[in-house]
Structure 1
């Protein structure tokens, strides 16, 4: 058997208006750790046609800072402070593309409370998961918005999920 070509999700990239403010929010909201900062406001910015082509940025976009952050286990979060002549608002769940990322928590109420105290906005209170394959006693989700608009989902699944009866594959939190 050959090794898989892709071993897993390495990181998620998020564009923010201010890397320092984003790092502070993630540390306060999630007890995140800053692994490193590749460059900051005192370094030469990344810009120009080659950069724009490489990352599909709008012409004239300037990257002023980049940092890699860790939240618990799983993929890291790469923060980019980008400024440009045309920047759209974060997408909604009904738009095409990546609409959110989810963080697993053992205490969803405490996690949402901490997130809100740090400056985030819950879109609802934590609620039961409605899907037959995922619901169970205590299985809950809560979608929230970060100060710059990125949507994050908190999820907790203390009860066994019925999808396990349909496949031998397991979600990350269910791996034995």
Structure 2
């Protein structure tokens, strides 16, 4: 579950980049977009997300190869804390095996990671130079979830995100 939204976690029919794009198209963006359409969601948003899905391969044409990583899935500042002794704590997960960049994008959607995070992350795991090109794709998934859960201004934010992705042409 991602909040109150069922989250489809399934193995891709194929591996590698093509498998990830298929998973992102069907189990992530496509699944939420279909639910939004089923509920009578705003046609411009549904159509824009469908166009983003059709163009997914272009955001992965820079040599980036997503690697399956166990991610929290809903990691934002409201879902992490520190104990009195400084031990980090995370909660309210929406766990999946996904691209690590999906986690990073969620961390940036509603704020910024703590000071020192990016330096430590780059030193430990590295960060592909194309992450900034893909960040909006991963954030769109969470924005669509928020549209389904809360409606309101999230629909406008999701539409703006989708349109920004589409307005870039080939990223």
TM interval, shorter chain, is under 0.3
- Greater RCO structure (CA 8 Å; 6+ sep): 2
Of Structure 1 and Structure 2, which has the larger fraction of its residues in helix? Answer: 2
Query: TM-score scaled to structure 1, two decimals?
Result: 0.23
Of Structure 1 and Structure 2, which has the larger fraction of its residues in strand? Answer: 1
